[in-house]
Structure 1
């Protein structure tokens, strides 16, 4: 069976969701929200206008990020964290029947990542069904297995409930409503006179009786609501419908959240590219000369990619998606297919073409990724916008008018997905390709950029820099090891090319300006009329004088649009001239190493844990963070200072059927082992320790086995915290033992034995990026890709870290620098500490080849133990590097012993003063 490993951003997303709901259980969802915002440096207030007291949060993930897979994992984790069950009822709502069918298959079929996400948490204890299949779910399954019902929101969204089957009386569901308590029955819909009129088998005696309906079944079981593509369903009727279903909580998944969405976690498109989930950039070719040229070039692009794919170890067969015009247009599906197959056309074998429209469904049952499948071209109009996926789709060829092709971004989303979710050896196979017919190239590029933002989850900078436009004949990058890169707006050049040249800016204008280009701008600005207005071609940086001229020619909305076009071009210029985009390597940074068992190794948490002799039985068995008090019909559980109240209910409501009847210690211990498994602890050791914990709680704390079984989710959380606490103590001990012997990795030939370097295409910065007026000139990834750097504080003062970054950027001995991103040890530079990894705020390469790590600390943090340890580690790294590395703890001038400015502190460190 295939195994699926979640990506880093997927783990982070799920952790953010679980943390929010775990805290919501203890402290309330508003407090949990405020804490979540504080962790990401945001201050957005929680919006309770839609769901009231029901916790409702949204996850923003760009197209291609695996929303369905993450939701499959999320329902189990949220079920345990918030609903206190490992057998939740889930109502999974999607916007269309096509996506409903696709989601059902993804969750049911073994070998699919979504199915694997459920199986990892529930094993065989899961039922995935449609509304029509819900009658096959027996009452005994509820509480003993996860029940996931996939439906469209349209199935429930109606004001008159008598006209929808889901609200109708259904005798087959009657067993689920037997023996209801008054409290359970009170909120459920009852049979009315109107129902008797609609359903003739009901009689006046049934009036007031609880309906055994699909909607009541859902409301009775208080489901976790998962809403996919949530931006499609944010209407008053939709939320009235959701509240009527009595959900426990709501999780929205979308690429483009709208106002009112409580976005608890945001994944950027760059993070998807870092994980090889999507192909970027999008290489755009516009075809003003006619659709046949676009078709021919799309076919040639595919042919060239297939030659590259032959060099790969994995099977890849590039596919073109042709978007024909609808009926009544010039290039309909029939016209296009005829051109592709005719002797006077492209002479393509018809077996290589699949037509997928509302009338023709030639992809039905076709496994397009199979080596035996001949399909290389898919022709559609808009049928592929939902319910279809093909990781071999590389080329989009849209023959529809660019400004009216509303579905082009949906097809582009299919092209963006990376085959097998991994980078290819051939550089050309790591990119997506679009051939689009249009009279104006600028309009096409801008339209695509707008759609990447509005419909696919990109931020403005990601969208502006995701589209490149190479000239004819330079569509593909040479696949060499000589550092060939994109430069000058998409031209493929070598590292030896002129790096100072700024790519041309192409600014869309609604009309030709009434005034001619001023004489002082004539050498750099050219105006050209187009059918849609005009284009300003700016050769060089769009400076203030050029901006003033272009903006001065318009007013109102036109002026705003021109301003947006100018800013977009500045973003593209900034991205193209960044050192990373130009293929300039960043200097190697040696890691701190330690000799362990006679072998040099980087000092990481694993090694520290071994040095500290992490051993579960090195101290008496205890679980200090777990307390339980039974108070009548409730349990109060105190886990590490957070009190959680659990209502005592019937066994089936508590999910006790998941444990065999008359559960004993062995059953509970094996369940805890599954929930708390650790990669560095053998199962036999873990089972022995867990049994000791369970017996300690019964013998020394006086807790009954029944109470431990009923509160096992909180018990598992306490066990996980105890394991982490003990491991961390071992890490601290190991680090303290290793610190005196730490040294920077030695040089071997022209490289360090163990080192880190910033990858030009893998910056882990997350939006929002820096947006201040100062334009940094030396940031390795460009001015518009600086992670977590605020220009001013809430009080209006210049932010201290901004002042530090500006001082680094202006230091003439700095070649380039990076705003280092915390908590991503793969793509960020780190040094070990006793508690975790330490990520200096800034890392710079100097013009003489040395490297400088700068950690900024405000005055109030200077005396902390954490700061002292970081300074000690940084000093050890510098001292052991043989003069190759410098470390600076930068502080505000009023905190510096000599009152030096930040500029002076940096200069003194570089000069060795």
Structure 2
């Protein structure tokens, strides 16, 4: 099971937040800095809500992912991201997870999925944590079943619990707070200061104190259910080091770091959108329409399977009226009426609070006959069957139809793929309401509950449709199909509530469905109308299908054209600035040259497209770090490397506890390593340094580990001891050496490839229509964008002088880290400024203050000059120093003289 694009973005957002948090010892500031890096405002009327410190000192963040977006799979992958970050400061911390769920139904599903060796969730956990994974329920921990001090140190331990189990409302739940001899192994002499974790009113062996001592990572599934004061207190009692919320509908306490929108899910074929909402004039018509459409969808599914597609058996969810004294439509009556219409009894199942005919039924199996499920709201959570396509609500016509509780149950896409016929890529809701506007509000609420919006449905009203059909015969109108606020339907006189009347349902509805399906296909091809011999519901369904096809095509086009990196929810919160109108047409036509690599024969590119954008990784394919120079001088290792960890800025409660140096743990870890034999010290130190060095892609992990082994082998006993005590400082020196070796290899390889024309220059990079800087610069004349990104004092002085030259037409503060233009050579170089002169030349300008560490300046200058030579006469590259330029660079005064002439 591979990560979808948007799921990978959520994990990248999490990793980005953790990186910011690692260097910012203040939770509120880290949250502001994280969003500022994305050009998003925090605070004020037009920004994201500021950080809420609900659990003091504990990073508590949220990912907003709509229903069917794979929140559990995201959480499984996120555990590795979080524990990797935490381990940098606490090398021997146990990997304990408390996975909180809102109900027993979801608890059972989660435990089953995480425990099953064949389930994708468990497979991913085993891959990430080297098969050292154990999943528990609360009762397992209370009995000490496979759970001890030693196992907790060596594995990933996940206990799945409901919030109710922490609230001690009954005798069973209170056991978590009681002395427990089964957990005596956790009463170790090295348990440290109990004040850090012990709830003194409970015994140290109580499960709650064992969990607190392990400082768990807490995953809160459907976290919108866990925002009460009591729930927050229960979370705090767990003594977590990190809290990750996953929900489609974040509430007031949520600190959202990642947004996923409906279009992202539609693009990846995760959901059936848009939802087609159709209103009928009677409950009998609702049933008849649902039967006809379901039959036609199944026929389409069979045709697709015969053509090589996967098995689909569309299901209707009938939402019954709750039983009342007035004896409204109930689930028993619906079953009776369906059987009267010759539906086989085995195809009908009831799922209510008291009746569960779906127990132990696998709806996805080919031999399962179920095609109709009758419920009230028992499917409102913890139940997802991708085969559910139609929600048919049979509530009173005189009230708004309460569909929001279970609307999300028909949204998941079968087999997570786009199907050959567009009608199999949508969801459908049929209602019979005289208050259709209120019903649509209920649909919007249902979409909101699932994390979607009022833009994700389309509505059809039968009364308006009848009028349109008559007008359509005269060629003047089309069936109205629009959004919530485009629908004008007058409330009709309420019909009396009584027995469910299906007398209007055609006994030959199946034959009519088949006839209409064939006629509908011909009608779509010829433009003809549906034959009059078919029942009204069949004609209505044919019209729905025609409109649904058009709406789906429009929705698909919108999804494909959407910006993957920016959720619509962030659009109005971003610090966005557009190109000035006077420069717009000219600037948008610019294509800055970049390096391209010739694709070797046998690749995926055709002869007409033999080049692809060059990436630095190409230069390191044959780089063997393990054979590189392993001589590193550690004499100047910094002694203040941990200083930032010991600082606390602002309110103490805002300091991220898990991201400051745990001095006691550091001493324990150091003593542990020093007590080992020399060989064991070496082995453990190599593993520790490799972990801290982290991902050096495209250099492989085995290459990095072997290189570090050679470095450690060259150390004497005193250096080994010092390295154990100051491993982070040593890692910095090691990474600097690795980077230098990789850069030297990349530079030589790049030059060689350039000499034999394996690398060429082509117009490529287009300036964006707008930018979203993390902070704004003050006004400087001739800026390309209305407001440019903030800059340092020397940069501002340089560009101010440049802008005041008569030869300059416009300038732009280039973005960095993937946001702006890069010279893509043996390193990725983002010059500080792009300058356009009136004669038409474009100059890339890199500024270097004399007070900076300019260790990479020579490499950047060499690459910049290579780019200039290959780009042609219309382009220049300049590196500008204030007073003391390196060879080939410019002094500011000299650069201004040249720019005046360009």
Global fold match (TM > 0.5)? yes
1:221 offset after TM fit, Å?
A: 1.8
CA contact (8 A) 1:621 1:692 kept: no
1:799 offset after TM fit, Å?
A: 11
Deviations 1:526-564 (CA, angstroms, capped at 9, x unpaired): 97633599xxxxxxxxxxxxxxxxxxxxxxxxxxxxxxx
Identify which of 589, 594, 609 aligns with 2:597. Answer: 594
Matched, 1:267 2:263: no
Distance 1:665 1:868, change over 3 A: closer
Map 1:9-48; keep pairs closer than 5 Å: 9-28=6-25, 29-44=27-42, 46-48=50-52
1:263 offset after TM fit, Å?
A: 0.9
CA contact (8 A) 2:389 2:411 kept: yes
Which residue is 2:120 aligned to? 113
Map 1:509-520; keep pairs closer than 5 Å: none
CA contact (8 A) 1:169 1:211 kept: yes
**SS in structure 2 opposite 1:174?**
helix
CA contact (8 A) 2:263 2:562 kept: no
Which residue is 1:79 aligned to? 83
Identify which of 370, 373, 390 aligns with 2:368. Answer: 373
Looking at structure 1, the residues matched to 615 and 442 of structure 2 have their Cα atoms a distance apart, in angstroms, of 47
Distance 1:507 1:337, change over 3 A: closer
CA contact (8 A) 1:57 1:262 kept: yes
Looking at structure 1, the residues matched to 254 and 866 of structure 2 have their Cα atoms a distance apart, in angstroms, of 44
CA contact (8 A) 1:628 1:635 kept: no
Matched, 1:327 2:323: yes
Which residue is 2:193 aligned to? 183
CA contact (8 A) 2:405 2:446 kept: no
**SS in structure 2 opposite 1:82?**
helix
Matched, 1:61 2:68: no
Distance 1:439 1:404, change over 3 A: closer
Map 1:722-871; keep pairs closer than 5 Å: 801=785, 835=827
The alignment's TM-score, normalised by the length of structure 1, stands at 0.62
Which residue is 1:645 aligned to? 661
1:623 offset after TM fit, Å?
A: 9.9
Looking at structure 2, the residues matched to 440 and 327 of structure 1 have their Cα atoms a distance apart, in angstroms, of 21
CA contact (8 A) 1:698 1:705 kept: no
Looking at structure 1, the residues matched to 436 and 65 of structure 2 have their Cα atoms a distance apart, in angstroms, of 29
Distance 1:327 1:145, change over 3 A: same
CA contact (8 A) 1:319 1:394 kept: yes
Deviations 1:6-56 (CA, angstroms, capped at 9, x unpaired): 223222222322333344344323332222111222232543442122221
Looking at structure 1, the residues matched to 246 and 196 of structure 2 have their Cα atoms a distance apart, in angstroms, of 32
Matched, 1:605 2:615: yes
Distance 1:584 1:217, change over 3 A: closer
**SS in structure 2 opposite 1:92?**
strand
Looking at structure 2, the residues matched to 651 and 528 of structure 1 have their Cα atoms a distance apart, in angstroms, of 73
Looking at structure 2, the residues matched to 437 and 129 of structure 1 have their Cα atoms a distance apart, in angstroms, of 46
Q: Does 209-218 or 665-674 show the bigger shift?
A: 665-674
CA contact (8 A) 1:614 1:726 kept: no
Which residue is 1:750 aligned to? none
1:715 offset after TM fit, Å?
A: 8.6
**SS in structure 2 opposite 1:36?**
helix
Identify which of 155, 158, 162 aligns with 1:152. Answer: 162
Which residue is 2:491 aligned to? 530
Matched, 1:457 2:451: yes
Q: Which has the higher contact order (CA 8 A, sep 6+)?
A: 2
Looking at structure 2, the residues matched to 310 and 824 of structure 1 have their Cα atoms a distance apart, in angstroms, of 43
Distance 1:618 1:702, change over 3 A: closer
Which residue is 1:174 aligned to? 184
Distance 1:680 1:249, change over 3 A: closer
Which residue is 1:197 aligned to? none
Identify which of 84, 95, 100 aligns with 2:102. Answer: 95
Which residue is 1:51 aligned to? 55
Looking at structure 2, the residues matched to 398 and 719 of structure 1 have their Cα atoms a distance apart, in angstroms, of 65
Distance 1:82 1:236, change over 3 A: same
Looking at structure 1, the residues matched to 868 and 296 of structure 2 have their Cα atoms a distance apart, in angstroms, of 50
Q: Does 262-271 or 382-391 show the bigger shift?
A: 382-391
CA contact (8 A) 2:66 2:247 kept: yes
Map 1:529-678; keep pairs closer than 5 Å: 529-531=490-492, 580=557, 593-595=596-598, 600-605=610-615, 608-609=618-619, 617-620=627-630, 645-649=661-665, 663=680, 665-666=682-683
Matched, 1:285 2:278: yes
Larger radius of gyration: 2
Distance 1:583 1:248, change over 3 A: closer
Which residue is 2:111 aligned to? 104
Looking at structure 2, the residues matched to 855 and 235 of structure 1 have their Cα atoms a distance apart, in angstroms, of 62
**SS in structure 2 opposite 1:114?**
helix
CA contact (8 A) 1:323 1:400 kept: no
Deviations 1:825-863 (CA, angstroms, capped at 9, x unpaired): 9xx999956655999xxxxxxxxxxxxxx9999999999
CA contact (8 A) 1:93 1:150 kept: yes
Looking at structure 2, the residues matched to 861 and 402 of structure 1 have their Cα atoms a distance apart, in angstroms, of 71
1:721 offset after TM fit, Å?
A: 8.7
Deviations 1:808-829 (CA, angstroms, capped at 9, x unpaired): xxxxxxxxxxxxx99999xx99
| Aligned CA-pair RMSD | 6.0
Identify which of 357, 361, 364 aligns with 2:356. Answer: 361
The alignment's TM-score, normalised by the length of structure 2, stands at 0.63
Looking at structure 2, the residues matched to 604 and 183 of structure 1 have their Cα atoms a distance apart, in angstroms, of 55
Which residue is 2:542 aligned to? none
CA contact (8 A) 2:460 2:481 kept: no
1:151 offset after TM fit, Å?
A: 0.9
Looking at structure 2, the residues matched to 623 and 532 of structure 1 have their Cα atoms a distance apart, in angstroms, of 89
Deviations 1:150-184 (CA, angstroms, capped at 9, x unpaired): 11112223699998332233333334235476721
Deviations 1:281-302 (CA, angstroms, capped at 9, x unpaired): 2233332334323432442343
CA contact (8 A) 2:620 2:699 kept: no
Distance 1:302 1:678, change over 3 A: farther
Matched, 1:300 2:295: yes
CA contact (8 A) 1:277 1:421 kept: yes
Looking at structure 2, the residues matched to 574 and 305 of structure 1 have their Cα atoms a distance apart, in angstroms, of 19
**SS in structure 2 opposite 1:530?**
coil
Which residue is 1:124 aligned to? 131
**SS in structure 2 opposite 1:91?**
strand
Looking at structure 2, the residues matched to 60 and 355 of structure 1 have their Cα atoms a distance apart, in angstroms, of 32
1:378 offset after TM fit, Å?
A: 2.9
CA contact (8 A) 2:400 2:436 kept: no
Tell me how many residue pairs correspond in the alignment.
Answer: 701
1:406 offset after TM fit, Å?
A: 8.3
Q: Does 48-57 or 78-87 show the bigger shift?
A: 78-87
1:418 offset after TM fit, Å?
A: 2.5
Map 1:200-349; keep pairs closer than 5 Å: 210-289=203-282, 290-311=285-306, 313-325=308-320, 326-328=322-324, 330-340=328-338, 342=339, 344-345=340-341, 347-349=342-344
Map 1:368-517; keep pairs closer than 5 Å: 368-400=363-395, 408-409=403-404, 411-452=406-447, 454-458=448-452, 460=453, 463-464=454-455, 466-469=456-459
Which residue is 1:910 aligned to? none
Structure 2 unaligned segments of length 5 or more: list them.
44-49, 469-476, 495-549, 564-588, 603-609, 648-657, 789-814, 832-839, 850-856, 878-902
1:388 offset after TM fit, Å?
A: 2.3
**SS in structure 2 opposite 1:142?**
helix
Structure 1 unaligned segments of length 5 or more: list them.
192-208, 476-487, 489-500, 510-524, 534-572, 747-754, 758-778, 780-785, 805-820, 840-853, 881-885, 890-913
CA contact (8 A) 2:400 2:439 kept: no
CA contact (8 A) 1:281 1:432 kept: yes
CA contact (8 A) 2:400 2:438 kept: no
Looking at structure 2, the residues matched to 722 and 128 of structure 1 have their Cα atoms a distance apart, in angstroms, of 41
Looking at structure 2, the residues matched to 338 and 823 of structure 1 have their Cα atoms a distance apart, in angstroms, of 64
